[in-house]
A and B are shown apart, each in its own frame.
Chain A
């Protein structure tokens, strides 16, 4: 009798275990039923009920690229509602903007608009749309779609990027091919702003619907753009599948499908590439670039992007309110040592406060490591008797943690005792917003090629974000920033930005460390992969020659 019960209990346990597997199995496409390789038939949830658009290529020659990413999106794929990189990287592949940033990241080129001109007063800009552009569902792009999307980006309830479009007074669509943008004041960075991902164009009805309070994000993960790929739908936890847009205006992309899965662990992601389970990975740890690239059949590279790494100093906390102390900290920092040990040589000396984009002044000296100069400055400063300073480091960021350890050692030589506090990102954020910190390591990446974004964020004081939370506030600098935004003559703008870079460098609200790069690794049969100057990658020119 007891034996029977034991048997039944064991069976029940097994059935429960198998039953628990079952729900996830039913959502899978009928891959096992077909004889095609499993990778070729993989599809997101929903594919089982809604068959994928038939591809022109036969199943055997379908080109699929498998990628492992370090993070999963959380923003919906609505360009102006995006606030995380994983969603942004999808957005640039499915939605186009009027103009786009060139691959080197320093200027803009034609995208949905082929021609643009401004009135002599610089207040009215007229854009002519490219002929024959269609959305992924086949409907033609109209000027009204551009107007609706940009109106949402600049004024939608849910837009996170409104500030960038402040200069725009009105957008008109006089006919299907023409978009008129009327400004309230001349605004030099306009073309760069229009090339930003946040101005991606959706069909007018979808753009408007997305702003409704009760808009279901499931609808946003089903994209309808003019980009090289489209997404049929996505559920968190599933791979994201980019499908080729047969109507793409630049010509049909080479890949039928890009399959992006989420592999958060750095080591596992690299092993998946080595094992050939994926063709491409992003965020290769700097320490592994060389070793990974040396593997047979694998390539790994650091791409130059507009990213900076630095230490934020709270210029309101004595003695950091003394410019000499801040300069001394800069001189006492051995950047090359940090670049070598923290970034494994995959970074460059930061000579200017802004990244290496448009109007970057490459002639600036930065703060080369000079301990004697640092000691001299300290002896003349408010901090001459030495002082104690907290450095709040976001937990989980090894690069920041290692930098902090090096700085603790380096700055002890000029009498500064660094108290490293490892805190959660959210805590560090709350603290620097409230001004409750003395120093914290941070990093910045440009979202547009024009320096207006970084300059307004990091140099303008008096209001949030208080010059990158340094609380540095120089009215003359604030005026110059406004002037640079209004100035129409590129030469004069360049001169203004050169002055701003110099003034900010001398004021040293930050400890300037390094220009960073973005890393990726791929199997050698993948061709044409590139991370552009703004750290985006587009799959339109990527080939899989496997």
Chain B
């Protein structure tokens, strides 16, 4: 199967996966107890007020009808209205999705740099002080909850050294990049903590391969051997993990966006779940699922670029 046929097949599969996601999320937000009408109206609301609001919001319709409205709306490109804000969900989510995606990609970019630098360094210095230090530091980062690690970075780099702002999002593109650095670094460091361990062991393994000895025997420089012969082969499994971690990364933004006061999707999702704002929760979940699927498709495609022997079936 060639690459394009493979993509076509994956895209068709994606429709089914997303369909499954809609059913699961639609059921889940309704199984958890809590009446949105009382959450919106507050304690002072009477039962009549709540009934009137449920009627107005369409919450008293049969579940299959509500589900049909959700799915058919989505298919038409309409995500409905937020129960809490009485605004189109698209208006609420539209601005936030790019912010969270930027943050995730920013974090992935930083993670890639950090992983390559320290992963290679650690492998080359195997068993020496630098190797132990790197592994120990990233073990610490890996085991630290990210909200706490975020605060730690704020104290050190924002309040102590004053290199970055404490929190917020900024106004211009330059400011966004500057403001998002610390949250992206928090996420990026935690992601690379997973990746570095993998990359290091892969490099060490690959360096023992026969073709690497041959390359060295040809008189190639160590640097050339590492970059041209070792790294590409070692990267395969690291990239797989990299792609799989994207879902986790989006999950991580949920907490990090609250700590760093970034008006992204995670923050909205958290508020919406608390408020039982069904349409918003549904929209964000489906969008996230879509993103995770797309990123993993890209990861699968990248194998064939890294290793021409890979074919798709």
Q: Cβ of B275: which chain A residues have Cβ within 8 Å of it?
A: 74
Chain A residues lying within 8 Å of B47, measured Cβ to Cβ, are 464
Q: Given the complex, which residues of B lie within 8 Å of A262, measured CB to CB?
A: 261, 263
A63 at the interface (CB under 8 A from B): no
Residues of B within 8 A of A32 (CB): 172, 174
Q: Is A275 in contact with chain B by the CB < 8 A criterion? A: yes
Contact with A along B22-57 (1 / 0, CB 8 A): 000000000011110011111111110000000000
Contacts of B155 in A (CB 8 A): 271
Contact of A42 among B106, B154, B171 (CB under 8 A): B171
Q: A17-B105, A429-B39 are in contact. Are A29 and B274 (CB under 8 A)?
A: no
Contact indicator A424/B85 (Cβ below 8 Å): no
Of A138-146, A233-241, A526-534, the one with at least 4 CB within 8 A of chain B: A233-241
- A429 pairs with B38, CB closer than 8 A: yes
Verify if A285 is at the interface (C-beta below 8 Å from B).
no
Could you tell me if A31 and B172 are in contact, using CB atoms closer than 8 angstroms? yes
Please determine whether B154 and A25 come into contact, CB atoms closer than 8 angstroms.
Answer: no
**What is the minimal beta-carbon distance from B181 to any residue of chain A, in angstroms?**
13
- For residue A474, CB closer than 8 A to chain B, the reply is no
Is A483 close to B, CB under 8 A?
no
The answer to whether B166 has its CB under 8 Å from any CB of chain A is: yes
Q: Are A6 and B305 within 8 A (Cβ)? A: yes
Residues of chain A within 8 A (CB-CB) of B219 are none
Per-position 1/0 for B275-313, Cβ under 8 A of A: 110000000000000000000001000100110100000
Known contacts A74-B84, A426-B38: A238-B263 contact under CB 8 Å: yes
Q: B244: CB under 8 A from chain A? A: no
Q: Do A272 and B167 have beta carbons less than 8 Å apart?
A: yes
Chain A positions 88 through 129: 1 when the CB is less than 8 Å from some CB of chain B, otherwise 0:
000000000000000000000000000000000000000000
Does any Cβ of B come within 8 Å of A435's Cβ?
Answer: no
**By the criterion CB–CB under 8 Å, are A160 and B44 in contact?**
yes
Cα distance, A31 to B175, chains bound together (Å): 10
Residues of B within 8 A of A265 (CB): 147, 167, 258-259, 261
Chain A interface residue count, Cβ-Cβ cutoff 8 angstroms: 57
Q: Is A2 in contact with B41, judged by CB distance below 8 angstroms?
A: no
Contact B305 A83 (CB under 8 A): no
A288 at the A/B interface (Cβ < 8 Å)?
A: no
Which B residues lie within 8 Å of A16 (CB)? 105
Question: In this assembly, does B233 line the interface, its C-beta being within 8 Å of a C-beta of chain A?
Answer: no
Which residues of chain B have C-beta atoms less than 8 A from A274's C-beta? Answer: 159
Contact between A217 and B85, CB atoms less than 8 A apart: yes
Q: Please report whether the interface of chain A is mostly helix, strand, loop or mixed according to DSSP.
A: helix
Complex CA–CA separation, A20 to B276 (angstroms) = 28
Expressed in whole angstroms, the Cα–Cα distance for A381 and B155 within the complex equals 55
Chain A min CB distance to B301 (Å): 8
Return chain A residues, CB-CB under 8 Å to B45: 160
CB distance A424 to B263 under 8 Å?
A: no
Instruction: Let me know if B172 and A425 touch, CB within 8 A.
Output: no
B61 within 8 A of A: no
Contact across chains for A23 and B171 when beta carbons are under 8 A apart = no
Q: In the docked arrangement, what's the CA distance between A24 and B84, Å?
A: 23
A268 in complex: contacting residue of B101, B166, B173, B176, CB < 8 Å: B166
Tell me if B305 and A425 are in contact (CB < 8 A): no
A24–B41 CB distance below 8 A: no
User: B159's closest neighbor in chain A, by CB?
Assistant: A275
For B41, list chain A residues within 8 Å (CB).
83, 160
Q: Which of B6-14, B90-98, B190-198, B205-213 contacts A (4 or more CB under 8 A)?
A: B90-98
Cα of A22 to Cα of B165 in the assembled complex, Å: 21
Q: Which chain B residues in 232-269 approach chain A with CB under 8 Å?
A: 258-261, 263, 267-268
Residues of chain A contacted by B60 (CB below 8 angstroms): none
Q: Is B80 an interface residue (CB 8 A)?
A: no
Residue among B159, B165, B167, B260 with the highest chain A CB neighbour number at 10 A? B167
Size class of B's contact patch?
Answer: 35 or more
Residues of B within 8 A of A420 (CB): none
Choose one: B44, B167, B174, B268; the contact of A263 (CB below 8 Å).
B167
B86 within 8 A of A: yes
- Chain B residue with minimal CB distance to A163? B44
Chain A 1-26 against B: per-residue CB contact (8 Å), 1 yes, 0 no? Answer: 01001100100011011001111110
Q: A418-437, CB under 8 A of B: which get 1 and which 0?
A: 00000011110110010000
Which residues of chain B from 166 to 202 have any CB-CB distance to chain A below 8 Å in the complex?
Answer: 166-177
Q: Given A264-B261, A265-B258, A425-B274, are A21 and B98 also a contact pair (CB < 8 Å)?
A: yes
Cβ of A386 under 8 Å from chain B: no
A16 to B109, CA, bound (A): 12
A13 engages B174 (CB within 8 Å): no
Selected from B85, B98, B274, B305, the residue in CB contact (under 8 A) with A9 is B305
CB distance from A29 to the nearest CB of B (A): 7
- Check if B305 sits within 8 Å of A2, measured CB to CB: yes
- Measured between C-beta atoms, what is the minimum distance from A510 to chain B in Å? 15
- How far is it, in angstroms, between the C-alpha of A464 and the C-alpha of B42 when the chains are bound? 13
CB–CB A9/B302 < 8 A: yes
The residue on B at minimum CB distance from A26 is: B173
Decide: A271 near B172, CB < 8 A? Known: A9-B302, A425-B274. no
Residues of chain B within 8 A (CB-CB) of A409 are: none
The docked-state distance in angstroms from the alpha carbon of A13 to that of B271 is 30
Q: Please, which residues of chain B bring their CB within 8 A of the CB of A457?
A: 44
CB distance from A535 to the nearest CB of B (A): 16
Q: Is B144 part of the contact surface with A, judged by Cβ < 8 Å?
A: no
Say yes or no for B79: interface residue by CB 8 A criterion.
no
Cβ-defined partner of A430 (8 Å) among B33, B170, B173, B298: B33
- Determine whether A131 belongs to the interface, using a CB cutoff of 8 Å to chain B: no
Q: Would you call B159 and A271 a contact (CB within 8 A)?
A: yes
Closest-CB distance, A39 to chain B (whole angstroms): 9
Q: A22 — which chain B residues lie within 8 A by C-beta? A: 98, 173
Q: Is A293 positioned at the interface, with any CB of B under 8 Å from its CB?
A: no
Q: Which residues of B contact A217 (CB under 8 A)?
A: 85-87
Closest partner residue, chain A, to B167 (CB atom): A268
Q: Using Cβ atoms and an 8 Å threshold, which residues of chain B touch A268?
A: 151, 154, 166-167, 259-261
Partner of A424, one of B165, B267, B274: B274
A163 to B260, CA, bound (A): 41
25 sampled A-B residue pairs with Cβ under 8 A: A2-B306, A13-B105, A21-B177, A22-B173, A28-B171, A29-B171, A31-B172, A160-B42, A235-B95, A262-B263, A267-B259, A271-B151, A271-B159, A272-B168, A272-B261, A277-B166, A424-B274, A425-B39, A425-B274, A426-B33, A426-B274, A426-B276, A430-B33, A464-B46, A465-B43
Beyond A24-B176, A275-B159, 5 additional contacts (C-beta under 8 Å) are: A17-B101, A31-B171, A74-B275, A236-B263, A269-B261
Identify the 10 closest CB pairs spanning chains A and B, nearest first: A426-B34, A237-B263, A17-B105, A263-B261, A25-B173, A28-B171, A20-B98, A20-B102, A20-B101, A275-B166
**Which B residues form the contact surface with A (CB < 8 A)?**
32-35, 38-47, 84-87, 91-92, 95-96, 98-99, 101-102, 105-106, 109, 147, 151, 154-155, 158-159, 162, 165-177, 258-261, 263, 267-268, 271, 274-276, 298, 302, 305-306, 308
